[in-house]
Structure 1
Amino acid sequence: MIIDLRSDTVTKPTKGMLDAMMNAQVGDDVYKEDPSVNALEERLAKMFGKDQALFFPTGSMANQTALKLHTNPGEQVICDKYAHIYNYEGGGASFNSGISCKLIDGHRGMFTANQVVESINPPDFYHSPLTTLVEIENTTNKGGGACWDFEELKRIKAVCDKHNLGYHLDGARFWNALVANKETTEDYGMLFDTISVCLSKGLGCPIGSVLIGNNDIMKGAMRVRKILGGGMRQVGYLASAGLYALDHHLERLTEDHKKAKEIGEVLGNLSIIKKVEPIETNIVIFELEPHVDESEFLKQLSNKNIQIIGMGSNKLRMVTHLDYTDVMHDRLFEILNKFNRRKMF
């Protein structure tokens, strides 16, 4: 039994999801003739109270399209120093859109409206890039699955409105935040100009993200997707997985959150663990004591068929997900507790 806690992207489709995929009605989505894709896009647009939604193969492509729609070359997006668009999208902001990032030194990937105000370049000062967009990520990946305070998001929206800035939500793990905080898609739709949501993380789909917005901002989205190579044909087989996930996998995210918090409790009782970051959703980030070698710790877990991510500087990450079972959960605890009973370091 391999216990893979590297990411929530490692899940396989459930039997019910596979059945839905195999029975999907499909057509050529480049011609907008795939009924399953159209149904998914219409459903998500309606959920957020927006005009349009567009299916993408990846979340990075959806985010990169949003950046392109909001900006012109030479302009600047405000985001946190932990932001996925800055750290983990291959420099796409500069490569695809010709823009730079103004990084905010936030807390666990989150910042305040006041910090946004301080980061806006004077629009009449032509020596600096023109600020045109604010981007936030909810939950924060590098911030350990932290959820934004919705009231702070509203305050940032007011700043965006005052300074005529676009407002984009990278919702790679948005569904986790939604379930954890008992918020609504309609609330987020009223705040953000564009929203990307991922289907292949907590919801367990094999592939797919969706970009959502109103007609004015989304009118060029399909062209940008084409330029980035994202035009797909009978992709309804994948879109149907998203429809199934929205019906069957959304509420169960609370199980992943519960397991993550229980893992944090066990880690917190180990003598080799220096610190466990606060756990709000399904990401567990922890730090080993200085005398513990990170690579050796990872090796010992790997020898027991447990896979996790090393982040460097003695920090590590575990992510719970749909395929992480109760049996795996008990087995993980059994192995972790042995680190206290044996002198392994």
Structure 2
Amino acid sequence: MIDLRSDTVTKPSTGMLEYMLKAELGDDVFGEDPTVTKLEEQIAGMAGMEAAVFSPTGTQSNLLGIMSHCQRGDEYIVGQTAHTYMFEGGGAAILGSIQPQPLDFDLDGTLDLDKVYMAIKPDDFHFARTKLLCLENTTTGRVLPLDYLKKIPAFCKENKLASHLDGARVFNAVSKLGVNLETITQHFDSVSVCLSKGLGAPLGSILCGSKELIKEARKWRKMLGGGMRQAGIVAAAGIYALEHNIERLREDHDNAELLAKGLGEIDAIQIIAINTNILLIKVNKNYPELREELFKNGVIFPKTANKAGIIRLVTHLDVSTDDILKTTNLIKAFYHKQ
């Protein structure tokens, strides 16, 4: 099947599975799994940070970061449609008693720092304590500009804020900008990096930060049920992904552009945005029937559009250029018959 719903649907490659089978294992809760340790040291080094902790999911990794920066009654400033606010079950508020203060993203995926400044609460017992600025890179495929990122450390220092980056697709930003990971992450106090999206591992995310922050995060990880035993078998997939699947992200970006070009030639489809490996479209005619026809021919699209009528398509390592051309031709043939 050609599955364009998300880059989370990727399956481990043969090479990745073979690498996993050969992983040296130990008990990670005791700090004795050498493969987990290798992965944590590897990604921390790439991010230019002191330490890292492996967790099973990006949701947990982000929650570890927020809860390690903040205490009960604190507040974090975040994008209105950011994953940490909108798509993680309200964990920071429910489990951490940490209040989110959402702001609208600008068109480029940034949060206007003047608006962030205005949202910071006064030092007064009437208010939650504003402690953390949380950004996302990429956000709906948009890459945060480096000039913007360079402003973050001074802004946060001046306003006594810590900073966290939800870097679920940060390697897509790395690929798009042609830089290394540290060029982006050096501007933050912590970063969560997902291994199971464009990098193709079956699961896992890494939180990177200072030794002190990661020590705190390990305590929260255990409390949240994220303490794993012989986790090296899945950490090995992350190591393989870092060593084999970063450079090829450019192919996903190219395929998203190719898909946008092909669908843009169809009157019934409107291209809303194309950024890195994420394409947003509107289908103005017979979408349920189109989706059913595609499914019969081995292509999976999202079941429905969102409330704004937008459908998100995502390219990834299990979708080839030939798959994109097949998908485009199927859609053209469907509307030609209408």
Range into which the TM-score falls when normalised by the shorter chain: over 0.9
Give 2:104's aligned residue: 105
C-alpha contact (below 8 Å) 2:49/2:210 kept by paired residues: yes
Give 1:250's aligned residue: 246
Name the SS for the 1:167 alignment partner.
strand
* Contiguous gaps of at least 5 residues in structure 2: none
Kindly indicate whether residue 164 of structure 2 is the aligned counterpart of residue 185 of structure 1: no
C-alpha contact (below 8 Å) 1:78/1:104 kept by paired residues: yes
Give 1:296's aligned residue: 289
Aligned length: 335
Give 2:51's aligned residue: 52
C-alpha contact (below 8 Å) 2:255/2:320 kept by paired residues: no
Give 2:318's aligned residue: 323
Kindly indicate whether residue 310 of structure 2 is the aligned counterpart of residue 311 of structure 1: no
Cα offset, 1:300, TM superposition: 3.1
Give 2:153's aligned residue: 157
C-alpha contact (below 8 Å) 2:259/2:325 kept by paired residues: no
Q: 1:63 to 1:135 in 2, by over 3 A?
A: same
What TM-score comes out, normalization by structure 2 length? Answer: 0.95
Cα distance in 1 between the residues matched to 2:4 and 2:12: 17
Cα offset, 1:340, TM superposition: 4.2
Cα distance in 2 between the residues matched to 1:15 and 1:190: 34
Cα offset, 1:276, TM superposition: 2.6
C-alpha contact (below 8 Å) 2:54/2:204 kept by paired residues: yes
Name the SS for the 1:76 alignment partner.
strand
Cα distance in 1 between the residues matched to 2:110 and 2:165: 12
Which segment is superposed worse, 14-23 or 188-197? Answer: 188-197
The residue identity in structure 1 corresponding to 2:182 is E
C-alpha contact (below 8 Å) 1:138/1:177 kept by paired residues: yes
Cα offset, 1:44, TM superposition: 1.1
Which segment is superposed worse, 165-174 or 319-328? Answer: 319-328
Give 1:281's aligned residue: 276
**Percent same amino acid among aligned pairs?**
40
What TM-score comes out, normalization by structure 1 length? Answer: 0.93
C-alpha contact (below 8 Å) 1:264/1:276 kept by paired residues: no
C-alpha contact (below 8 Å) 1:113/1:152 kept by paired residues: no
Which segment is superposed worse, 4-13 or 265-274? Answer: 265-274
What is the RMSD computed on CA atoms of the aligned residues?
1.4
Cα distance in 2 between the residues matched to 1:41 and 1:62: 13
Give 1:32's aligned residue: 31
Which segment is superposed worse, 227-236 or 317-326? Answer: 317-326
Kindly indicate whether residue 333 of structure 2 is the aligned counterpart of residue 333 of structure 1: no
C-alpha contact (below 8 Å) 2:166/2:192 kept by paired residues: yes
Per-residue CA deviations over 1:164-211 (Å, capped at 9, x if unaligned) read: 101000011111011111122222332111110011111100111000
The residue identity in structure 2 corresponding to 1:165 is L
The residue identity in structure 2 corresponding to 1:27 is G
Kindly indicate whether residue 261 of structure 2 is the aligned counterpart of residue 268 of structure 1: no
The residue identity in structure 1 corresponding to 2:160 is N
* Contiguous gaps of at least 5 residues in structure 1: none
C-alpha contact (below 8 Å) 2:40/2:54 kept by paired residues: yes
Cα distance in 2 between the residues matched to 1:268 and 1:110: 27
Per-residue CA deviations over 1:207-264 (Å, capped at 9, x if unaligned) read: 1100000113222111100000000011111111111111111000000000001111
Name the SS for the 2:275 alignment partner.
coil
Cα distance in 1 between the residues matched to 2:331 and 2:96: 46
Give 1:116's aligned residue: 116
Name the SS for the 1:110 alignment partner.
coil
Cα distance in 1 between the residues matched to 2:170 and 2:185: 12
Cα distance in 2 between the residues matched to 1:118 and 1:288: 39
Cα distance in 2 between the residues matched to 1:272 and 1:19: 45
